[in-house]
A and B are shown apart, each in its own frame.
Chain A
Amino acid sequence: MDSILEVKHINKQYGNYQALKDVSLQIPEKAIFGLLGPNGAGKTSLIRIINQITGPDSGEVFFCGEKLAPKHVDLIGYLPEERGLYKKMSVGEQVMYLAQLKGLKKNIAKEKLIYWFKKFEIESWWDKKVEELSKGMQQKVQFIVTILHEPKLLILDEPFSGFDPINAQLIKNEILELREKGSTIIFSTHNMGSVEELCDNIALINKAEKILDGTVSDIRKAHRSNTFHIIFKGNLLGFINALWAGAEILEKKSVGDVHTLTIKLLRQTTPNALLEAVLQNAEIISFHEIVPSMNDIFISVVENKPAVNTQSYFTE
Chain B
Amino acid sequence: MNKLLLIIQREYFSRVKKKSFILMTILGPLLMAGVLIVPVWLAMRDKTDHQVLVLDHSGLFIEKLTNTSQIKFTYGAESIASAKLKLKDGPFDLIMEIKGDALNDEKTTPVLYYKKQPGISTEQYITNQMENILFDYRLQGDSIDIRKIDKARRQVQLLTLKVTENGTDEKTNTEVNMAIGFGCAIAIYFMIFLYGSQVMRGVIEEKSNRIVEVIISSVKPFQLMLGKILGVALVGLTQFILWIILTLVLQTAITKFLFKDEIADKVKQNSQIEKVMKNDLTADITTLEKVETPNEAIALFNDLDKVNFSQIIICFAFFFLFGYLLYAALFAAIGSAVDNEADTQQFILPVTIPLILSFIIAQNIIKDPDSSMAQFFSIFPLTSPIVMMVRLPFGVPMWELLLSMFMLIIGFLFFTWLAGKIYRTGILMYGKKTTWKELGKWLFYKG
Q: Quick check: is B445 within 8 A (CB to CB) of the other chain?
A: yes
Q: Which residues between 78 and 99 of chain A lie within 8 Å of chain B, taking CB atoms?
A: 78-80, 82-89, 97-98
Cross-interface CB contact of B14 among A53, A54, A89, A103, cutoff 8 Å: A89
Q: Which residues of B contact A89 (CB under 8 A)?
A: 14
Contacting pair B445 A98 (CB below 8 A): no
Q: Quick check: is A15 within 8 A (CB to CB) of the other chain?
A: yes
Q: Which residues of B contact A87 (CB under 8 A)?
A: 205, 209
Contacting pair B217 A83 (CB below 8 A): no
Write the chain A residue with the least CB distance to B10.
A97
Q: Which residues of A contact B206 (CB under 8 A)?
A: 86
Q: Quick check: is A145 within 8 A (CB to CB) of the other chain?
A: yes
Contacting pair B6 A100 (CB below 8 A): yes
Q: A14-B445, A88-B14, A101-B6 are in contact. Are A78 and B217 (CB under 8 A)?
A: yes
CB contacts between A and B, total, < 8 Å: 69
Interface string of B433-447 (1 = CB under 8 A from A): 000000001000111
Q: A15-B441, A82-B430 are in contact. Are A98 and B214 (CB under 8 A)?
A: yes
Interchain CA distance A73-B219 in the complex, whole Å: 8
Interface string of A61-87 (1 = CB under 8 A from B): 000000000100110101110111111
Shortest A186–chain B CB gap in Å is: 13
Contacting pair A84 B217 (CB below 8 A): no
Q: A48-B428, A55-B447 are in contact. Are A85 and B209 (CB under 8 A)?
A: yes
Interchain CA distance A142-B211 in the complex, whole Å: 10
Contacting pair A80 B214 (CB below 8 A): yes
With most chain A CB atoms within 10 A of its CB, the pick from B214, B220, B428 is: B214
Q: Quick check: is A293 within 8 A (CB to CB) of the other chain?
A: no
Shortest A65–chain B CB gap in Å is: 22
Interchain CA distance A97-B12 in the complex, whole Å: 13
Contacting pair B214 A142 (CB below 8 A): yes
Interchain CA distance A145-B218 in the complex, whole Å: 12
Contacting pair B209 A80 (CB below 8 A): no
With most chain B CB atoms within 10 A of its CB, the pick from A48, A80, A88 is: A80
With most chain A CB atoms within 10 A of its CB, the pick from B10, B217, B220, B430 is: B217
Contacting pair B14 A145 (CB below 8 A): no
Interface size on B, residues (CB 8 A): 26
Q: Quick check: is B146 within 8 A (CB to CB) of the other chain?
A: no
Interchain CA distance A98-B216 in the complex, whole Å: 11
Cross-interface CB contact of B213 among A14, A80, A88, A101, cutoff 8 Å: A80
Contacting pair A102 B446 (CB below 8 A): no
Q: Which residues of A contact B445 (CB under 8 A)?
A: 14-15
Interchain CA distance A97-B441 in the complex, whole Å: 33
Q: Quick check: is B64 within 8 A (CB to CB) of the other chain?
A: no
Cross-interface CB contact of B217 among A15, A73, A88, cutoff 8 Å: A73
Interface string of A98-123 (1 = CB under 8 A from B): 10111100000000000000000000
With most chain B CB atoms within 10 A of its CB, the pick from A52, A85, A101, A145 is: A101
Contacting pair B210 A84 (CB below 8 A): yes
With most chain A CB atoms within 10 A of its CB, the pick from B7, B218, B219 is: B218
Write the chain B residue with the least CB distance to A79.
B214
Q: Which residues of B contact A57 (CB under 8 A)?
A: 446
Write the chain A residue with the least CB distance to B438.
A15
B contact face: mostly helix, strand, loop, or mixed: helix
A contact face: mostly helix, strand, loop, or mixed: loop
Q: Which residues of B contact A82 (CB under 8 A)?
A: 210, 213, 430
Q: Quick check: is B381 within 8 A (CB to CB) of the other chain?
A: no
Q: Which residues of B contact A88 (CB under 8 A)?
A: 14
Q: Quick check: is A51 within 8 A (CB to CB) of the other chain?
A: yes
Interface string of B282-324 (1 = CB under 8 A from A): 0000000000000000000000000000000000000000000
Contacting pair A86 B217 (CB below 8 A): no
Q: Quick check: is B215 within 8 A (CB to CB) of the other chain?
A: yes
Q: Which residues of B contact A97 (CB under 8 A)?
A: 6, 10
Q: Which residues between 40 and 90 of chain B lie within 8 Å of chain A, taking CB atoms?
A: none
Contacting pair B430 A51 (CB below 8 A): no
Q: Which residues of A contact B171 (CB under 8 A)?
A: none
Contacting pair B214 A83 (CB below 8 A): yes
Interchain CA distance A89-B219 in the complex, whole Å: 20
Interchain CA distance A101-B215 in the complex, whole Å: 8
Interface string of B190-211 (1 = CB under 8 A from A): 0000000000000001100111
Q: Which residues of A contact B10 (CB under 8 A)?
A: 97
Contacting pair B446 A55 (CB below 8 A): yes
Contacting pair B217 A53 (CB below 8 A): yes
Contacting pair B209 A73 (CB below 8 A): no
Q: Quick check: is B3 within 8 A (CB to CB) of the other chain?
A: yes
Q: A53-B217, A53-B428, A145-B214 are in contact. Are A84 and B447 (CB under 8 A)?
A: no
Q: Which residues of B contact A98 (CB under 8 A)?
A: 214-215, 218
Interchain CA distance A182-B337 in the complex, whole Å: 40
Q: Which residues of A contact B205 (CB under 8 A)?
A: 86-87
Contacting pair A101 B3 (CB below 8 A): yes
Contacting pair B211 A73 (CB below 8 A): no
Q: Which residues of A contact B217 (CB under 8 A)?
A: 51-53, 73, 76, 78, 80
Q: Could you give 6 example pairs across A and B, Cβ below 8 Å?
A: A48-B428, A80-B213, A82-B210, A83-B213, A87-B205, A88-B14
Sample of 17 further A-B pairs with CB below 8 A, known A15-B445, A78-B214: A14-B445, A51-B217, A53-B217, A53-B221, A54-B424, A57-B446, A70-B220, A78-B213, A80-B217, A83-B210, A83-B213, A83-B214, A84-B210, A86-B205, A101-B6, A101-B219, A145-B214
What is B's interface to A at a CB cutoff of 8 Å? Answer: 3, 6-7, 10, 14, 205-206, 209-211, 213-221, 424, 428, 430, 441, 445-447
What is A's interface to B at a CB cutoff of 8 Å? Answer: 14-15, 48, 51-55, 57, 70, 73-74, 76, 78-80, 82-89, 97-98, 100-103, 142, 145
What are the nearest 7 A-B pairs in CB distance? A84-B210, A78-B217, A84-B209, A80-B213, A101-B218, A82-B210, A51-B217
